Structure 1
Amino acid sequence: MVEQPQRRVLSLFGAAVLALVAADGCGPARPPVDDRATMPHWLDRPIDAAPAPAPQASVEPVPGMVHDPSQAVFDPATVTPLLDDPRFAEVHARLAREADKGAADAFEKIMNASTLTADQEPRWQYQLGLLRLAAGDPAAAVRAFDRAAAAEWPLKDYALFHAGDLLARMNQPGEGLARLARVPRGLPIDEEVQLALAHAHVEARDVDAAAPIYDAYLARDPRPKGWVLVALAYAKALLNQPSEDRAEKAVKVAREVIFNGPGGRGVGEARELEERALSTLPSTRRLPLEDPDLAELVVQARSLAESRQGREARHAADKILERLKKPDGSEDDRPSEAACEAYLARAKGLAIVKRYNEASAASETALARCEGHERQVAAYFLAGRYAWRGGKPAAARRHYAELEKRFPKHRYADDARLHGAETAREMGDVAAFTRMLQPIAEDYPDGDMVDQALFTLAIDRIAEGDWAAAIAPLEKAIGRQERGRPYYAEGRPQHFLARAKLELGRRDDGLRELSNVIREFPASYYMVQAYAHLHHHDPERARRVVHDALAAEPQGDFVIADHAELHRPGFLRASELIRLGDGKRALAELEALGLRDEDANPSLVWASAILLSRTDAPSESHGVLRSSPKIWREHFPAGVWRQIWEVAYPRPFADIVDKETARSKIPKHLAYAIMREESAFKPRAVSWAGAYGLMQLIAPTAARVARGLGLPASKSALKTPAVNIALGCRFLHILMGDFPDNPLLAIPGYNAGPGAPRRWLKDRPGEPFDVWVERIPYKETRHYTKRVMQSMAAYALLYGKGMGDDMMLPPLMAAPSDATE
């Protein structure tokens, strides 16, 4: 936690505006998360006896206005993690050494020697339960959780859940069920409680009692993150208590995984369970399951394609088409829903393995088979996409044009216009490209691709050196643009309009607009690029603009006006969870209060982010601000706003980062930016592509780098912060060495591989760096480069030398021409 200097107290939005909601309860109130008729005594008072909000007169919100001392405030400092108490220094030390039993013993010794208040007793017992659980002593953990559940306090139900769950796993399902049954429905841990109940029923040899719980869980839409493992456990439980009905149910559960497992996850085990279940059934029940009807085959084919199981999707499509054959064995070429889905599944299955020419042919057939059916628009869109990727731009252009012509009101219509124009450009038809994109804002005023289309037209003209022709679409984009656009577009038309004016000799206009980009889009990717160009023309002016913008932020402490939301049962439970270091479950409580809602009360947002930052949960704390209304991004990370920016851009694992960045000679703000954008600071993160840990290293790269450092590179090692950060920093050092003229090229190299930037430099030698980034052909890498540079700017401004830090002044050109040879 970074200490905040004591400054005069300022309000952020105007004390009275927030007080109005707190005082008279304007707007519909959310029902409490739990439905108990009476509230516990602890709800009658605010946390740590904060004063009740005083009624205030209506005042227009003015960010940064002086706080009214008569208004109550919420002080996050009143919620501190229990283990931050200096008495627990030895507990911390043992936890750092992974001596979990010693840590639990040390904590219990201190607890037994302390005189605890009624409020402290259950909290300390709960903490002891967590420590005993981590130490591998579930029986002792249950005793501690039972004592915590004996008191009336915010986490009584959580303690019951932990005790019941552990008892069920200790082969004491009856005791577990008794405790779990006392946990009320409707809490944010309800899913965990229900799965624990199901597991306890299974352990009690009563899978029929568990079945409704599992069925409800698997019916959720969208599916929960861990549903595949739950489904497999459910199928096994059904087969472990044999009966024909349970075996048939096991087949259906296994098939949920077979046909919907993302990327084929768990499919192998599910097929074994399916085969085992089928083998126990008599033929009268087995044959219908082995020979599904046409409607079921259609569902299977679509599910397989959507879960990216390419080969299985094609196989399912073939089964459908076999069923649709005429009596003479020829294919029925009439349109039908089944034939439409079959050819769409075949096209997607082929595209998954990048067989785009065959996917294009399948989608062409899908167009005919989908005629008159709901999925016809999707068929046109996929036909255009796969033809383009298969190197057939003329066919792609035709399909996109037909989609737009036949379905002008569909949400894909403006997408089709943009992609059709791009295919025309690829064919060399610049006139058609321009003609199609110039009126797109008028033709599709509400289209979600219009801004991208206008910029596509502008950047194409810029790449051709025709900066004058870029001005009109850029000005049109600015006229449409509002705050809250995606990070990769925030400030984009403004930056390139300024660049265009400079290129056309309008120096004063260009420099003024570059200055405005810096002021209006703090610590953004386009601020970094605008600063580089302004610095090139007038270094002193560039430094002064940033200095003045930082100084303009009001000084003072970040104050959170007290609000009724901060006294709800869910917030009090979240506060206790934060005291006990459980950031994940605390976040769930806060989300249940509406933290992610567009109209979430600002006091709830700020309090949640700051409190979560006090736990060892940087992913949860900074994630709140990433998904919240971005008013904080309109301010520079200085003065009253600095604390919020520090929460959004935390520095976890600081000792390791300091050591490894120094050893590998890379900037700390680069390492933190990579971690933030790669894994959101989750040490055990694993991507769909098989990248591991904080800096998301794939196994071959990690093994190659590890050999030079004498470090392990196993999957488990890559989930260890010390190993992952060391390897990631050294890999960045290697990449920076590959691009000595522009070390920022290490960023796209980290995402797409070091060979990719070299190819793009060779293809486009001598291109300005800002233009070069916009023309990175991989969308993922293009956006990734911008995100990392944006995060670097935030870290440099917060903790480094600002725009004078290493790598914070991008070169104007992507690389000198000799670097492309």
Structure 2
Amino acid sequence: MRKNMFTLALTGLIIIILVITVFPREETGLPAEQEEPPLQAKEALAKLAEAEQNEETEALEQLAHREDAVGFAAILALAELEEENREEYLRRALALYDNNETRFKLADYLAEADEEEAIDAYLKLLPNSHALEALKGLGAEQALILDGLFAGGHWQKIIEVLSDQNGSLADQEKLYLARALVERGSFDKAEPILKELVQRHPEDDTLLWQYARTLEAMEQTEEAMALYRRLEGTGGQRLGRLYERVGEPKKAAAAYAKSPEPAARWRGAVLWDEMGYQEEALPLYLQLSEESGSYQDDALYRSYLLLKEAADPQSEELHEELSKHPVWMLRLGQNVQWPQLSQSAQGQSLVPERLEAYQAAGREELIEVELGIAWERGTAADKVAVGKWYLSQENYLQSSRWGMRALREEPDNRQGYELGYPRPFGDEIKQAAAEFALEPELLWAVMREESRFQPAVASHAGAVGLLQIMPATGEEIATNLGLEFDRQMLTEPEVNIRFGAYYLRAMLNRYDDDLDKALAAYNGGPGNVNRWQSSELGATRAGFPTAVTFFETRQYITKVTDSYLTYQWLYNN
């Protein structure tokens, strides 16, 4: 009997397999294992609009699996329709595209469901006034609110919160208030609060530092220096500055060297270097060369020069690192190791098609979402495609940003480089370059770092346009070129590029075609360049970059030169 049952079961299974094999599904015309292709952007958008209007949860669920702006919108629509699952949907939406509007929706929902989680959600939205009021309404401890404001550096809001409070403040609240007042420059108001706190907590280093900083700002220098000395390393940076101010460079260098701050140790190394104490400077340079940050490359370069001069074999190890940076190889008179480039990013991108569909449908809010998703989650092909989309609109700022973002995914991508280093205003650049005997690539490099190709941009200092010309400098150049001047003309690409080329050529002539000095003068002014090159360290061509005391100018020289060499390699090689 069992044998017969087994035989029947086996026979039935064989028949089922034969039926499936011989008679495939005919409903869709597709093999059983193949899924339907995803909807194209226009179709998905139309389906989303219909589902939103008719509150069709099944259709929205299908769309919610998409990892694009349509999927994000579908998830939010489901969050509104399905109260019991709202939290889950809102968290899904945030996982796809993190933004404050959705964070507020989640926090507001949690306020009715889970007060503890709601408080945590609102704390992340500070200093927004709605979040602050919601936290108060939920009975959140003021210490929590102040911690959140303090962590975010929201000094004015801390002052407002504590100024509204009646009665005396706890010590921690007084510290927050004093710190906020210091950060806002209200030292006279902070001083009595800090003085009282220091008397009660004389071993608290945070209090001592804030009090010393306040006394320094109020020109009570001796008292401030005494406190900084008590703090040793923590007070090293401020103490070093004060020693420099009173003309004691050795004490300044020693103080800087103890600081945990890279900027302070860099300054200490440079001071030792300029005074001829290379044995004191080198350990600081080497230390900084091993730390990721803004001073690493500069420290690496100077360490290499000092070790090379001392015939130390360690210099070869540093040379290997330096070879990855074009500007350093140029300064050392050696060849740059450029990557071998691939012609295009791997894969196809649907992002531009989606952006065009959203635009055509009047769903502008979805464009921002799509771009946010592509920026964080997209492939290199997506980022290149978005860069080209912006380039088609002559938005060089955004096209270059997306090109550089693509290079983070695929460092050898040629299209990413071409987007990141574009050549806009070609006729104007070439004409100005010919008139003032400059390479076009140098002008594009200066434009890239000065304005990111924005003709009307103005800096906080008042510089205007593509090559960031100060109005006073522009007026002088106009006079020299026999032109009538008005400030608005600096926003005209042809004029601005011509004026920038004129000034750059003037600086190159002034400093015997020394590019480092010319660029330093373009950014920091010729007066400062004269001072830097007259120092012991800045007197040599190799030492000049290290002698530049303005961090911004030192970075500027490196960035422009790197861009200049990249333009040459990319388009002239």
Distance (Å, rounded) in 1 between the aligned partners of 2:214 and 2:553: 21
Q: CA deviation at 1:644?
A: 1.9
1:368 paired residue among 177, 195, 205: 195
1:444-491 Cα offsets, whole Å, 9 max, x none, are 7xxxx3x4455444333332333344443344344444xxx44xx353
Aligned counterpart in structure 2 of residue 459 of structure 1, from 270, 288, 291: 270
Question: Partner residue of 2:320?
Answer: 516
Which amino acid is the alignment partner of residue 681 of structure 1? F
Distance 1:504 1:586, change over 3 A: farther
Are the structure 2 counterparts of residues 436 and 780 from structure 1 closer, same or farther at C-alpha, using a change threshold of 3 Å? closer
Unpaired runs of 5+ in structure 2? 1-44, 74-92, 101-124, 130-148
Cα separation, partners in 2 of 1:686 and 1:222, compared to 1, 3 Å: farther
- Residue 732 of structure 1 corresponds to 504
1:776 aligns to 2:548 (yes or no): yes
* Greater RCO, CA 8 A, separation 6+: 1
Distance 1:415 1:631 in 2: 39
For 1:491, what is the secondary structure of its paired residue? helix
Secondary structure of the residue that 1:557 maps to in structure 2?
Answer: coil
RMSD: 5.4
Deviation at 1:46, TM superposition (A): 13
Q: Is the 8 A contact 1:619 1:681 kept in 2?
A: yes
The partner residue of 1:716 within 488, 491, 495 is: 488
Counterpart position of 1:437:
257
Residue 373 of structure 2: aligned partner:
593
Q: How does 1:53-202 map to 2 (within 5 A)?
A: none
Choose the corresponding residue for 1:529, options 312, 324, 328.
328
Please list the CA deviations of residues 28-50 of structure 1 after superposition, one character each: whole Å capped at 9, or x if unmatched: xxxx9999564799999999xxx
Note closer, same or farther for the CA distance 1:388–1:42 as it changes in structure 2 (3 Å cut): same
Cα 1:519–1:785 change in 2 (3 A) is closer
Counterpart AA for 1:466: Y
**Partner of residue 305 from structure 2, selected from 487, 499, 502:** 499
State yes or no: 1:705 paired with 2:477. yes
Change (3 A) 1:795 1:761: same
Which residues in structure 2 correspond to 1:14-29 (within 5 Å)? none
CA distance in 2, matches of 1:492, 1:761: 17
What is the rounded CA distance, in whole Å, between the counterparts of 2:220 and 2:305 in structure 1?
35
Matched, 1:673 2:445: yes
Structure-to-structure mapping, 1:219-368, within 5 angstroms = 341=177, 345=181, 348-349=184-185, 364-365=191-192, 367-368=194-195
Shift of 1:658: 0.8
Determine the C-alpha separation between the residues in 1 that align with 2:395 and 2:225.
48
Query: Residue 561 of structure 1: SS of its match in structure 2?
Result: coil
Query: Could you tell me whether the CA contact under 8 Å between 1:735 and 1:746 is conserved in 2?
Result: yes
Letter in 2 for 1:574: L
Q: Any conservation in 1 of the 2:507–2:521 contact (CA below 8 Å)?
A: yes
Distance 2:219 2:533 in 1: 23
- Count of residue pairs brought into register by the alignment: 447
The code of the aligned residue for 2:309 comes to E
- Is 1:561 aligned with 2:347? yes
Cα deviation, 1:199-223, whole Å, max 9, x if unaligned, reads xxxxxxxxxxxxxxxxxxxxx9789
Q: 2:282, 2:537 → 1: CA distance?
A: 24
Partner of 1:798: 570
The answer (yes or no) to whether the contact 1:336–1:369 under 8 Å persists in 2 is no
The answer as to whether partners of 1:686 and 1:696 remain within 8 angstroms in 2 is: yes
Checking the alignment, whether the CA contact within 8 Å between 2:520 and 2:554 is kept in structure 1 is yes
The corresponding residue for 1:162 is: none
1:682-736 deviation per Cα after TM superposition (whole angstroms, max 9, x unaligned): 1121222222221222222222212233445434322221222122222222333
Deviations 1:164-201 (A, max 9, x none): xxxxxxxxxxxxxxxxxxxxx9999x99xxxxxxxxxx
- Please state whether the residue corresponding to 2:570 is helix, strand or coil: helix
Q: Secondary structure at the match of 1:593?
A: helix
State how far apart, in whole Å, the 2-side matches of 1:500 and 1:393 are. Answer: 36
Letter in 2 for 1:623: R
Q: Which residue of 2 aligns with 1:574?
A: 355
- Give the AA of the match of 1:496: R
- CA-to-aligned-CA distance 1:601-641 (integer Å, 9 cap, x gap): 44433443344344411100112355677466xx6xxxx53
Query: Is the Cα contact below 8 Å between 1:625 and 1:648 reproduced in 2?
Result: yes
Instruction: Give SS of 1:767's match.
Output: coil
CA apart distance, 1:423: 4.3
Partner of 2:561: 789
- Structure 1 distance, partners of 2:296, 2:175, is 44
Instruction: Report the TM-score when normalising by structure 1.
Output: 0.44
Separation (CA, whole Å) in 1 of partners of 2:482 and 2:127: 44
Q: Which amino acid aligns with 1:616?
A: E
> What is the letter of the counterpart of residue 257 of structure 2?
L
Tell me which moved more, 710-719 or 652-661.
Answer: 710-719
Distance 1:775 1:715 in 2: 34
Work out the CA distance in 1 between the residues paired with 2:256 and 2:493: 51
Q: Is the 8 A contact 1:684 1:692 kept in 2?
A: yes
1:745 matched to 2:505? The reply is: no
CA distance in 1, matches of 2:374, 2:127: 19
**Which whole-Å CA distance do the structure 1 matches of 2:553 and 2:495 have between them?**
25
Aligned counterparts of 1:764 and 1:422: Cα–Cα separation in 2: 20
* Counterpart code for 2:301: H
* CA contact 1:514–1:530 (8 Å) conserved in 2: no
Q: Distance in 2 between matches of 1:709 and 1:626?
A: 37
**Alignment CA distance shift 1:560-1:587 (3 Å):** farther
Instruction: Determine the C-alpha separation between the residues in 2 that align with 1:380 and 1:787.
Output: 39
Superposition TM-score, scaled by structure 2 size: 0.61
CA distance in 2, matches of 1:657, 1:499: 36
- Residue 433 to residue 696, structure 1, CA distance change in 2 (3 Å): closer
Match of 1:623 in 2: 401
C-alpha change, 1:532 and 1:690, in structure 2 (3 Å) is closer
Cα offset for 1:305? 8.8
> Does the C-alpha gap of structure 1 residues 384 and 44 become closer, same or farther in structure 2, counting only changes over 3 Å?
closer
The higher radius of gyration belongs to 2
Separation of aligned partners in 1, 2:429 and 2:562? 19
Q: Which has the higher helix share?
A: 2
CA distance in 2, matches of 1:396, 1:658: 56
Amino acid at match of 1:462: D
Pairing of 1:403-414 with structure 2 (within 5 A): 404=231
**Aligned-partner Cα distance in 1 for 2:371–2:206:** 35
For residues 781 and 499 of structure 1, the distance between their equivalents in structure 2, rounded to whole angstroms, comes to 21
Q: Which letter does structure 2 place at the counterpart of 1:437?
A: A
Partner AA of 2:324 in structure 1: E
CA contact (8 A) 2:445 2:564 kept: yes
